[in-house]
Amino acid sequence: MIQLEVLESPDQNVIAAMTYHQNQIYLGADSGDLKILDPGLLPSHAMLEVVGQELIFHPQRAVEHYLLNGKRATTIRKLKAKDQVTIGGTVLRVLAFSETVRESKKEFMERRLAQLIEEASSKLAVIELLTQLQKK
């Protein structure tokens, strides 16, 4: 999960707080999870990635620089809550992050099946009880 707030941007439509329930998000002018119409951004500008207890900012190769808390940066950097990243004319603030545990499709299906069986079992018990009460 990654929570960001866009504080400033030429794209007024993205000025808001956002939550992404995934470990990686892509930022860019033309594509990505957060599309920002900013002439200072490349089509695919950067990626934010949660790895364990760390949030990592990955600028794409063609990115000359960005600002991290007002200081010029050019390479991959670790971020923390309250850090501000400026890309083009857009200022982002990290609100929070945590690793999102991914489960396989098989694990999801098994967990969901167990939930359905549990729900059905409790409903079946109620139906049986109501049926017995009706017979009396």
pLDDT in tens, 102-114: 767 777 788 878 8
Class of domain 2-97: mainly beta
Ramachandran region of residue 32, left (φ > 0), alpha (ψ -120 to 50) or beta?
left
pTM, two decimal places: 0.72
Give the mean model confidence (pLDDT) for residues 14-37. Answer: 93
Look at residue 77 in the predicted model and tell me its pLDDT.
Answer: 97
pLDDT at residue 56 is higher than 80: yes
Q: Is the pLDDT of residue 21 over 70?
A: yes
Q: What is the mean pLDDT of residues 91-102?
A: 91
d(CA 126, CA 122): 6
pLDDT at 44 exceeding the cut of 80: yes
What does the buried/exposed string (b/e) look like for 19-57 if buried means 16 or more CB atoms within 10 Å of the residue's CB? ebeebebbbbbeebebbbebeebbebbbbbbbeeeebeb
